Amino acid sequence: MAKGGKLPKGLQLKEVFLVKGKNMAVCRWEADSLDHLMQVAGSMKPSWKIEAYEAAPAYQS
């Protein structure tokens, strides 16, 4: 989470999934661009690996 609990304009955290039995989480973001998301994530200097992918829905009910 960003300082003060606020995220930069253009970013919205939608969901967080914790992987059972592993030190891993999958987060679903709504972002104005993948580059912006990665810039903000990198600026927080995390001690973990960040992987980001653009995805399009294949099926919705």
SS3 track for 2-52? CHHHCCCCCEEEEEEEECCCCCCEEEEEEECCHHHHHHHHHHCCCCCCCCC
Looking up tokens 């679903």, which residue turns up? 28
pLDDT tier, 4 (very low <50, low <70, confident <90, very high otherwise)? low
What are the extents of the domains in the chain?
8-43
Looking up tokens 């993948």, which residue turns up? 34
pLDDT at 14: 95
How deeply is 38 buried, as exposed, middle or buried, from its count of CB atoms within 10 A (0-12, 13-18, 19+)?
A: middle
Residues 8-16, mean pLDDT to the nearest whole number: 94
pLDDT at 6: 85
Residues 7-23, mean pLDDT to the nearest whole number: 94
pLDDT over 60 at 2, yes or no: no
Residues 13-27, mean pLDDT to the nearest whole number: 95
